Structure 1
Amino acid sequence: MAITALPKSRTEPDGSAVVRVLGYNIRSMRDDEEALARVIRACEPDLVFVQEAPRFFRWRKHAARLAAKTDLVMLSGGATAAGPMLLCSLRATVERTEDVLLPRTPGLHRRGFATAVVRFAGARVGLISCHLSLAADERLAQAGLLLDRLKAMDVPHAIVAGDINERPGGRAFGRLAGELQDCWAVAPWGGEHTSTAAGPHQRIDAVFATEGVEVLGCGVPDLPPADLRAASDHLPVLAALRIPATV
C-alpha cells in the first residue's frame, strides 16, 4: 500500500528537490518487525529519522536488516548516537555524517544525535535525528544543544525529526518551534497524535525544518491500523518537503 496524498519524491527543473521524510520511534525493533517494514515501505521515504534504534548485542546487524527490508541504507547513528539513527534512499548523495553523544545526567539515559549532510540533486541539507530526555530541565537543555549543533553544521537548509518527549506547549518543544518550522503546524495532513500507537492522544513526535524549506504536508499517515499498532508503541510522522537548490 503506497501513500498518494502527499507529493511524490522528485527533482524540480531548478534543482530543488521534493523529499519524503519519516520520523519514527521504533522501540528498538522489539515489536513486529515485518509490520514495521511494511509501514516504512508504504511511506516511500527518502529519509528516515529513527529513534530507539537497536543499541545492544549485534545492533548493526539488526539495523542493517531493517534497512534491507525497507530498500534503504544506513546513514548514521544507532548505538554510537545512543539510539537516534538515520536511514536514506539511494537518491541521497552523502557528504558527511557524525554521531554526537550529549552530556549525561547521573541516573538518566544517555542521549545523542545522529547527524548528516546530504544532497538531493541541487539541494544540500543537514539532518538531525533526536530523542530528547524524559526530564524537563535536561530536555530543555538538549533542545538548546540541538539548535547549537544545527548552526555549527553550516548548511543552507536543515531537517530535524525526533521523539521530543513533550507536547507542543512544553518548553523544549517551544524552543525548537521558536527557531524552526513545526511542519505539522505549518501544513497539517493526516493524523496529529503520535503516542501511543494503541490509543493516540498526544503529539510528542515531530518533524521540523529551517526557514526556506517549503512544507507540503506533515502528519501521521493513514495506514492499516493493525500494522501501526504492531510495529511500535509510537506512530510515524511523514512529511513532504521541498528543499531549494543550493546557490
Structure 2
Amino acid sequence: MTLDDLPASRTEPDGSAVVRLLSYNVRSLRDDTGALARVVRACAPDVVCVQEAPRFFRWRKHASRLARATGLVYVTGGATATGPMILSSLRATVERSEDVLLPRTPGLHRRGLATAVLRFGRAARLAVVCCHLSLAEEERYAQAGLVLDRLADMGADAGSLAGVVAGDLNDEPDGRAFRRLAGTLRDGWATAPWGGELTWSASAPRKRIDAVLATGAVEVLGCGVPAGLAGVGAADLRAATDHLPVLAALRVPADPGGTGGRTG
C-alpha cells in the first residue's frame, strides 16, 4: 500500500474538497530535521497538526524554519499553545485561528490547543483542533471533554461546518479519553484504515496513541501511518522523531455559509 492509494487533494465541482491532513509529534525538533522534512513533504499535506513544536528560546524562528523546509506556512500555535501547532499549504485560506490554554493541574505540564477554521476553494470549510493530551489519566479524560467543547464552540458540533481533531492523545483506543473522543467523533483509522496502524514508538511501534478524528460531516477516505513515500525510507521515519505520523484524506463538504469567509 503506497501513497498513490490515498486520494489526492482536489476541489470538486460541487464545492467540496479532498483535504490531506497530517498529524505528527515532532519532539521539539530534537531529532533529524532533514528526515522530518522529507517525511512531511512526501505526504503532500494540505494541513499539518504538529505536537511538541518548539516552545522555548526562539521558538518562532524554529517554527518558521520547519514551515519553509516542508513547503508550508505557519497558521497558529507553538509556544502560545504549549506545543500544538498548525501549518498549512497555500491551498488553505485561514478564516480564523486561536490558541487555547487548558486548565493547569499543579505539578503537571500545562496543555493547550491550536485551533483554526480553514477554507479550501470557495466553500469547503474545516474546523481544525490540534491537541496533545496529558500523560495523567484523569487530566487526559477531562481534556478530551474540553477538546469536544472547543470543537462545538467553533460551530462543528451539529451544523454544516465540518470539524477534525488531530493529535497525540497519549491514550490507546480502549482508553477512557480516546473513547470519549471516539464516542462523538469518528476515529479515522477505525473508519477507513489505510497504511499502518501503530504510531509509537517510531523505532518499535507497539501502540496507537496518535489519531485523526472527524465529525459526521466529514467523509474519511483513508487514514493511517503513511507507507511507500517517495524518497523516504524506514530509516527516515525512525530518525525524524519518536512518533510515526498519521495521514488522513478527508472529503470536506461545501458549506453554504462559507462562500466568502474573511482571512487572517
Aligned to 1:175: 180
Q: TM-score, normalised by structure 1?
A: 0.98
Choose the corresponding residue for 2:224, options 215, 219, 226: 219
Structure 1 Cα separation of the partners of residues 151 and 196 of structure 2: 28
Within a 5 Å distance, the mapping from 1:46-195 to structure 2 comes to: 46-121=46-121, 122-155=123-156, 156-195=161-200
Structure 2 Cα separation of the partners of residues 38 and 3 of structure 1: 14
User: Letter of the aligned partner of 1:139 in structure 2?
Assistant: R
Give the deviation of 1:3 after TM superposition. Answer: 2.6
Aligned to 1:204: 209
DSSP 3-state at the match of 1:174? helix
Range with greater deviation from structure 2 (153-162 or 102-111): 153-162
Give the deviation of 1:5 after TM superposition. Answer: 1.7
DSSP 3-state at the match of 2:3? coil
Tell whether 2:251 aligns with 1:242: yes
Structure 1 Cα separation of the partners of residues 75 and 3 of structure 2: 24
Give the deviation of 1:125 after TM superposition. Answer: 1.1
Aligned to 2:240: 231
Offset from partner CA, 1:145-195 (integer Å, 9 cap, x none) = 010111011141111100000100000000000000100000000000000
Tell whether 2:28 aligns with 1:28: yes
User: Letter of the aligned partner of 1:221 in structure 2?
Assistant: P
User: Letter of the aligned partner of 1:157 in structure 2?
Assistant: A
Aligned to 2:8: 8
Structure 1 Cα separation of the partners of residues 4 and 32 of structure 2: 25
Contact 2:225 2:244 in 1 (8 A): yes
For the aligned residue pairs, the C-alpha RMSD in angstroms reads 0.8
Offset from partner CA, 1:83-122 (integer Å, 9 cap, x none) = 0000000000110100000111111001000000110011
Structure 2 Cα separation of the partners of residues 3 and 175 of structure 1: 30
| Paired residue total | 246
Gaps of 5+ in 2: 257-264
Structure 1 Cα separation of the partners of residues 118 and 192 of structure 2: 24
Aligned to 2:261: none
Structure 2 Cα separation of the partners of residues 182 and 162 of structure 1: 12
Structure 2 Cα separation of the partners of residues 159 and 89 of structure 1: 17
Structure 2 Cα separation of the partners of residues 36 and 125 of structure 1: 26
User: Letter of the aligned partner of 2:208 in structure 1?
Assistant: R
Give the deviation of 1:212 after TM superposition. Answer: 1.8
Contact 2:163 2:217 in 1 (8 A): no
Identical counterparts, % of pairs:
70
Offset from partner CA, 1:181-216 (integer Å, 9 cap, x none) = 100000000000000000001100000110021111
User: Letter of the aligned partner of 2:58 in structure 1?
Assistant: R
Q: TM-score, normalised by structure 2?
A: 0.92
User: Letter of the aligned partner of 2:190 in structure 1?
Assistant: A
